[in-house]
Amino acid sequence: MNSRIAIPGLSRVGFQGEPGAYSEEAALRLLGESVATVPRATFQAAFRAIPDGAADAILVPVENSLAGSVVRVYDLLLESNLSIIAEYILSIEHHLIGCPGARRDEIRSVASHPVALAQCERFFEANSLLRRIPAEDTAGSVREVLARGDTSCAAIAGRRAAARYGGVILESGIQDNRENFTRFVLLVPEPGPLAGADKMTIAMRLAHRPGALAASLEPFARNGVNLLKIESRPIHGRPWEYQFFLEVESEAPQKLQTAVTELRRCALDVRVLGLYQAARGESPSSAA
């Protein structure tokens, strides 16, 4: 179960995308419908919304269960001084959205972001006469279809985008894989102590020698801390040298701190990117 959280002083949350985007949906579910959402065109602009004074926090995707990590966000997170204070797992359901009055059988072209188009491959195989139109944004493709008012055009996006722009859902749940989840993290400049925090995201670099990674993971094993995810990322400007990102979990937060203290003795540039409460029960029904 994703828990809704309340954070004092957090009234405006930035996200990447257009109004109606999946990120906005996740932000409103995590923080409640009364939070103001601040759309930004790019991830970089979303990260700038806090220093620019336009937002108190930002909610950004870090991983999709089908498409993998959103590496651009990890890079920006590392460049920023923001910290993760919460995560939210959203079940992604793609719908075919058209203009009011449009009939499913008169649709001739379907616009969406190429990743969303690719996640509906079976739909396009079964409807092979439909023309695929790539777009920069899922919600933005709905906005454009509705603005043109052409009932032969549709877009693929989430339910909130249909509601936001007055579109109608012509066919629902058209993605190939029902288990399509995106994990978002909430970032703030100055996190206070968090009750119930049991998960930590860590960035580190390692000396390029045999055994360096095995040695760096021993503090977690020794303290009974569970490693949930590990990823190495090339370091910009030093091709094929790697930065590591770890996600670890323990029911005893003190063990996380002890493991990190021990980690600092064997790894370079260890940085805790956040200590927060893990979202639980990642099934389509519980994510809703």
- List of residues contacting a copy of itself (CB under 8 A): 42, 44, 63, 65-69, 71-72, 113-114, 117-118, 121, 132, 134-136, 177, 179, 181, 208-215, 217-218, 220-234, 236-237, 239-240, 242, 244, 282-283
Q: Which residue, among 216, 86, 98, 74, has the nearest Cα to 162 in the 3D structure?
A: 98
Residue 56 or 137: which CB sits closer to a copy of itself?
137
Assigned token pair, 268: 């370079």
Shortest Å, Cβ 6 to a copy of itself: 26
Q: Is 181 a catalytic residue?
A: no
SS3 274: strand
Q: Where are the alpha helices (DSSP H) in 112-249?
A: 114-118, 121-126, 138-148, 159-165, 212-222
Residue 218 or 269: which CB sits closer to a copy of itself?
218
Assigned token pair, 17: 């995308």
Angle at 38 between CA 85 and CA 89, to 5 degrees: 40
Shortest Å, Cβ 5 to a copy of itself: 20
Catalytic residue among 123, 124, 184, 220: 184
The upper half-sphere exposure of residue 259, i.e. CA atoms within 13 Å in the direction of its Cβ, equals 28
Assigned token pair, 129: 């006469």
DSSP, res 104:
G
Residue 19 or 284: which CB sits closer to a copy of itself?
284
Shortest Å, Cβ 86 to a copy of itself: 17
Catalytic residue among 15, 124, 138, 182: 182
Q: What are phi and psi of 215, to 5 degrees?
A: -65, -35
Residue 230 or 268: which CB sits closer to a copy of itself?
230
Q: Is 42 a catalytic residue?
A: no
Burial category of 8 from C-beta neighbours within 10 Å (exposed 0-12, middle 13-18, buried 19 and up) = exposed
Residue 150 or 242: which CB sits closer to a copy of itself?
242
Shortest Å, Cβ 8 to a copy of itself: 30
Shortest Å, Cβ 167 to a copy of itself: 20
Among left, alpha and beta (phi > 0; psi -120 to 50; other), residue 165 is: alpha
Asked if 139 contacts 157 with a C-beta cutoff of 8 angstroms, the reply is yes
Asked if 74 contacts 62 with a C-beta cutoff of 8 angstroms, the reply is yes
Shortest Å, Cβ 87 to a copy of itself: 11
Residue 103 or 236: which CB sits closer to a copy of itself?
236
Would you please indicate which residues are annotated as catalytic (active-site) residues? 182, 184
